[in-house]
Amino acid sequence: AAARTATRRVMTAPAGSPEQALAHAYAELSRGLGREPSGRELADAAGTSKSTANRWKARSTNPPPSHHDPLST
């Protein structure tokens, strides 16, 4: 069987805000990787810092709890 080699695609961020670039990169990476991208992968793809990417991920992928969710005891 032929060995598979990892290929790294460099994506350019679309024009617009950093949030738009992060959202676009997140969607593309998630689809391509088949998993949630790391903060470093997301930062590299969106052209932002790792800390900016991680803050965006925390805000965007962890919605606040609903008031309908039961409280843990």
pLDDT above 70 covers a percentage of the chain that reads 63
Whether residue 43 has pLDDT greater than 90: yes
Q: Contact, 48 vs 18, CB < 8 A? A: yes
6-40 pLDDT, tens per residue? 445 545 444 578 999 999 999 999 999 999 999 99
Helix (H) or strand (E) holding 18: helix 18-33
53 phi/psi in degrees, rounded to 5: -65, -40
Query: What is the model's pTM?
Result: 0.64
In residues, how long is the chain? 73
How many other CB atoms are found less than 10 A from the CB of residue 39?
18
